[in-house]
Structure 1
Amino acid sequence: MSPFLCVIFLLCLSTLATAAKFNQVYEWDELDYEWPAEANRTKSLIDGTFKPEDMSPLYMAVFGSRLFLSLGSYNGIPVSLVTVPTSSTSTKHPKLTPFPSWEVHDNGKYGDCNKIEVAAGLQVDSIGRLWVLDSGSSECKAKLWIIDLNNNDRTKLVHRFVFRNWMHDLVLDETADGTFAYISRWGESHIVVFNLKRKQSWMVYTPSKIQVISIAISPNMEEPRKLYLGKLISEEVYSISAATLRSGITRRVNPKLIGNWKTTDPYRMLIDNQGIMYSAFPAENLEHK
Structure 2
Amino acid sequence: MVVGVLAPWSALGLNTKLREVFRWKQLDYEFPTEEARQAAIQSGNFIQEHNLPLGIEVWNDKVFITVPRWRPGVPSSLNWVPINGEESPKLRPYPDWKFNEVQGNGTQKVVNTFRVRADVCDRLWVIDCGLVDILGQAKPIWSTKLLVFDLKSDTLIRSYTLKESDTRPKSFFANVVVDVTPDDCENAHAYLPDLGSNALVVYSWAENDSWRVKHHYFHFDPLFGDFNIGGVNFQWTDGIFGVALSPVLADGYRKLYFHPLSSINEFVVSTKIVKNKTIASDSYHAYKLLGNRGADSQATASFLDESSGVVFYTQVNKNAVGCWNSYAFPDNYSPLTNAIVAADNETMVFPNDLKVDRNSNLWVLTDRLPTFMYKRLDTKDVNFRVLMAPVQEAIKGTVCEAPKFYRYQF
TM-score by length of 1: 0.84
Give the match for residue 185 of structure 1: 194
Count matched residues: 266
How far residue 113 of structure 1 moved from its aligned partner, in angstroms, is: 5.1
Structure 1: how far apart are the matches of 2:104 and 2:28? 20
How far residue 110 of structure 1 moved from its aligned partner, in angstroms, is: 8.6
Gaps of 5+ in 1: 1-19
- Pair 125,221 (structure 1): closer, same or farther in 2 beyond 3 Å: farther
Contact 2:130 2:142 in 1 (8 A): yes
Deviations 1:233-284 (A, max 9, x none): 1111111111111122224143211111222421101111122111012222
- What amino acid is aligned across from residue 323 of structure 2 in structure 1? E
Residue 70 (str. 1) matches residue 49 (str. 2): no
Residue 266 (str. 1) matches residue 299 (str. 2): yes
Contact 1:112 1:140 in 2 (8 A): no
How far residue 69 of structure 1 moved from its aligned partner, in angstroms, is: 1.1
Give the match for residue 6 of structure 1: none
Deviations 1:162-213 (A, max 9, x none): 3486211121111657000111122332100000111111101112772312
**What secondary structure is seen at the aligned counterpart in 1 of 2:216?**
coil
Structure 1: how far apart are the matches of 2:65 and 2:57? 7
Structure 1: how far apart are the matches of 2:194 and 2:106? 22
**What secondary structure is seen at the aligned counterpart in 2 of 1:169?**
coil
- Pair 209,243 (structure 1): closer, same or farther in 2 beyond 3 Å: closer
Give the match for residue 124 of structure 1: 118
- What amino acid is aligned across from residue 214 of structure 1 in structure 2? G
Which structure has the highest strand share of the two? 1
Structure 1: how far apart are the matches of 2:249 and 2:180? 11
- Pair 32,288 (structure 1): closer, same or farther in 2 beyond 3 Å: same
How far residue 158 of structure 1 moved from its aligned partner, in angstroms, is: 2.4
Give the match for residue 320 of structure 2: 284
Which structure has the highest helix share of the two? 2
Contact 1:271 1:278 in 2 (8 A): yes
Contact 1:63 1:124 in 2 (8 A): yes
How far residue 142 of structure 1 moved from its aligned partner, in angstroms, is: 0.7
Q: Counterparts in 2 of 1:1-289, with a 5 A limit?
A: 22-75=18-71, 76-88=73-85, 90-91=86-87, 93-107=88-102, 109=103, 114-137=108-131, 138-150=140-152, 152-162=153-163, 163=167, 166-174=172-180, 176=184, 178-207=187-216, 210=219, 211-220=239-248, 223-252=252-281, 253-254=283-284, 255-262=287-294, 263-273=296-306, 274-282=308-316, 283-289=319-325
Deviations 1:54-103 (A, max 9, x none): 22221111111111111133122121111111113x42x21110010011
TM-score by length of 2: 0.60
Higher RCO (CA-CA < 8 Å; seq separation 6+): 2
Structure 1: how far apart are the matches of 2:310 and 2:197? 26
Contact 2:113 2:174 in 1 (8 A): no
How far residue 111 of structure 1 moved from its aligned partner, in angstroms, is: 7.6
Segment drifting more, 237-246 vs 210-219: 210-219
- What amino acid is aligned across from residue 245 of structure 2 in structure 1? I
Identity level (%): 26
Structure 2: how far apart are the matches of 1:260 and 1:112? 46
Contact 2:26 2:49 in 1 (8 A): yes
Structure 2: how far apart are the matches of 1:232 and 1:24? 26
**What secondary structure is seen at the aligned counterpart in 2 of 1:238?**
strand
Structure 1: how far apart are the matches of 2:280 and 2:304? 25
Contact 1:143 1:157 in 2 (8 A): no
